[in-house]
Amino acid sequence: MEQVIFKKLFHRGNFQIGIVFRRNNEIVEKLKTIFSLWSKTHKCWYVKYSKENYQKLKVIFNDSEITIEKPEGTHTVLEPGLETHQENAPIESSNGIALQQLENDEHNSFIENEGLREEPTSLKATSPPNVLAKGILDIQESGLEKDQENAPVESNKGMAVQEIEIDGQNKEQAGLKAKFEVHPDIGKYWVLSLAYSRPISIAMLKIKGVYWSNNYKVYMIFRHVNVKNKVEALLGIKDLLPSNYYVNEQNDKFTAGEIIISVFLSGKKWMKVQLPEIAAIINQVKRLQGSKYNMDEMVYLLPATPGVLKNLAIIAEQFGIKVINELPNGYANTRNELNIKSIKLQEAAENLRKQVPASSEIYLTSMLDYLLANNYSHNTIRVYTSSFIQFLRHFGYKNPDDLSQNDVVKYLGKMMLKGLSASAGHSLVNALLFYYRNVLKRERFEIDLPRPKKEKKLPVVLTMAECFSVFAAIKNPKHKLLLLLAYGTGLRLSELTHLKWEDILWAEYKIHVKQAKGKKDRIVGLPHSIVVYLEHYRSLYPSAIWVFEGQYKDEPYSSRSVQAVMKRAITEAGLEKNATVHTLRHSFATHLLESGTDIRYIQQLLGHNSIQTTTIYTHLTSKAAKKIQSPLDNMAHQIVNKKKLE
């Protein structure tokens, strides 16, 4: 019997029911009939959270074994597997999560009793802000890049907190007594919290089978005798952990499991990867760039490159399993590396096709073909086709060619009444105009509706002092360098994460930004104050392609991770402004304007098409605002000084 997992998600501003199951086209078609969508973020299907939808899901999966996953915020704790690196966005899936199998009569209380009304809890960074050494930045070593360097875990009520003294060399390194707390077991893991000590933390995480849970700020220790002995030896305490070892040969990654890599006969640029039934490993492999699942052979396909082989070796080492490489010599080649743009376009197209029934896929495919043929960016493709899918769904996936122009206008009018933003309204109109004019060849197709007036919102800007406080709040050197470069160059987030070492012109103190927004190149300045630190950072990763690599080699840093870094820094700095990474770009432009830089130069540095876009910063300069005196203040000044009012 196939297993399906239902879980609560907070996605796109609302609670959803997440659905995790082995890919089945028949099931997918049924899910689409209840307007279920695919989430690239959570790697699962989801539908609006309601009793009605839950009942529909029970009917669709009536032949499957249904498991209800406990939501975050209840006593169920995530088992680690992806917790050792939190630099990429977390994946909420069935990887190693303790599940509670409910009986059929309990299924009906899914909505009421699973604790799903609780608001999602946000993690607050508890480490003290790091004062900027040497004025701006102090990069010491690459070992500072783990999120485990957060503050110690506060003990839970009712738990006995004990003290241990670190013996020998460890005591000299730590120079302190570490408090620890042993919590109840979670599945196949012992749970331990320790007062933070960097040497202890680094040593703990070098032990195979010890993982850091960033959600709960505890160490998850696999219940194995070898792991127990190593942890107790490190901490200098015998019988610290109980002897209730986990016994299950199938799932015990210390005694079973291997990654098998072999040739994919249908495409020489790909290799087959067979994985053990360990959810955490599967989810890490799914996150590798270009990873896809082959249903026919029930294996994962990955680009046959040396970089991917190294990443698989890293994953295997982390989980203590073997890699069996059956590839012939020379099969893995750098020529097989995938083009990032191609990957994004393929992923966008694949995710969009999943959102419509098979009978309506021809309409979406026709639009996708025209967008791709016209070399539109993957963002434009995503926006246009998402609007088009919404349009199809409204008319029950009818053939758009059978709809009259009046039908389209009525639909747009109804959507505008819902209070769409100006940008969403423009995207919707543009998407439909594109389809009817280009795909259906109705060249005279017009939509007689006034375009939504674009809102003129002033961007959030940080003062120079606020920028400094943000940088001072960041402890991780890599994260600090990211935000310093964002502020010092005014780069967009995507430009920052896709910056390569070859793009930095060291001798000229410049950065060559290639194929940025609008498919344009431009040159920006490289701040002199950061060059020494950037060179030192490069020495830590001499073989890297990207300036800021992601969790895996040869992959760029995740944009979402950078935003998370900024969000934590804003919280640590105690700022109440709703600032993002893009706020640093706004601050860059505003501070340049305040210092007297010509607005035309600022336009070029920012890569704006029109100077009208750049002029918005003239409304934000504090120095200019201080020179302007209100007529009321002028009147009051004249009265106080007993001057005759003019």
Q: Is 608 a catalytic residue?
A: yes
DSSP element (H, E) containing 11? strand 3-11
Q: Is 585 a catalytic residue?
A: yes
Q: Is 536 a catalytic residue?
A: no
The answer to whether the CB of 290 falls within 8 A of the CB of 307 is no
Q: How far apart are CA 577 and CA 466, in angstroms?
A: 10
What are phi and psi for residue 432, nearest 5 degrees?
-70, -40
Q: Is 492 a catalytic residue?
A: yes
Q: How far apart are CA 169 and CA 172, in angstroms?
A: 5
The answer to whether the CB of 70 falls within 8 A of the CB of 99 is yes
The answer to whether the CB of 524 falls within 8 A of the CB of 513 is yes
Q: How far apart are CA 22 and CA 251, in angstroms?
A: 19
Catalytic residue among 514, 517, 538, 560: 517
Q: How far apart are CA 81 and CA 498, in angstroms?
A: 27
* Residue position matching structure tokens 């994460």: 497
> Comparing C-alpha atoms, which of 636, 516, 558 is closest to residue 87?
558
> Comparing C-alpha atoms, which of 63, 76, 52, 65 is closest to residue 6?
65
The answer to whether the CB of 549 falls within 8 A of the CB of 311 is no
Secondary structure in 3-state letters for 26-37: HHHHHHHHCCCE
Q: Side chain identity at 131, as an amino acid letter?
A: V
Q: Is 582 a catalytic residue?
A: yes
Catalytic residue among 208, 512, 536, 608: 608
Q: How far apart are CA 94 and CA 628, in angstroms?
A: 59
The answer to whether the CB of 427 falls within 8 A of the CB of 387 is yes
**Cβ neighbours of residue 73 under 8 Å, at least 6 residues apart?**
115, 118, 120, 121
Catalytic residue among 397, 436, 537, 617: 617
Q: Look at strands 258-263 and 218-222 and give their pairing.
A: unpaired
DSSP 118-167: SPPPPP---SPPPPPTTSS-----GGG--GGGSPPPPPPTTPPPEEEE--
Query: On the CB side of 26, how many CA atoms lie within 13 Å of its CA?
Result: 3
Question: Each residue of 116-153: b (16+ CB within 10 Å) or e?
Answer: beeeeeeeebebebbebeeebbebeeeeeebbbbbebb
Catalytic residue among 42, 70, 492, 498: 492
Q: How far apart are CA 176 and CA 197, in angstroms?
A: 8
The length of the chain in residues reads 646
The answer to whether the CB of 524 falls within 8 A of the CB of 605 is yes
Q: How far apart are CA 487 and CA 586, in angstroms?
A: 9
Q: Is 394 a catalytic residue?
A: no
Tell the burial category of 206 from Cβ atoms under 10 Å away from its Cβ (0-12, 13-18, 19+): exposed
Catalytic residue among 11, 48, 353, 582: 582
Q: What's the DSSP call for residue 617? A: G
What are phi and psi for residue 378, nearest 5 degrees?
-65, -30
Q: Look at strands 99-100 and 162-165 and give their pairing.
A: unpaired
Instruction: Give Cα separations from 414 to 386, 419, 424 (angstroms).
Output: 17, 9, 14
Catalytic residue among 8, 188, 230, 585: 585
Q: How far apart are CA 620 and CA 456, in angstroms?
A: 13
> Comparing C-alpha atoms, which of 168, 145, 185 is closest to residue 557?
145
Task: Name the residues annotated as catalytic.
Answer: 492, 517, 582, 585, 608, 617
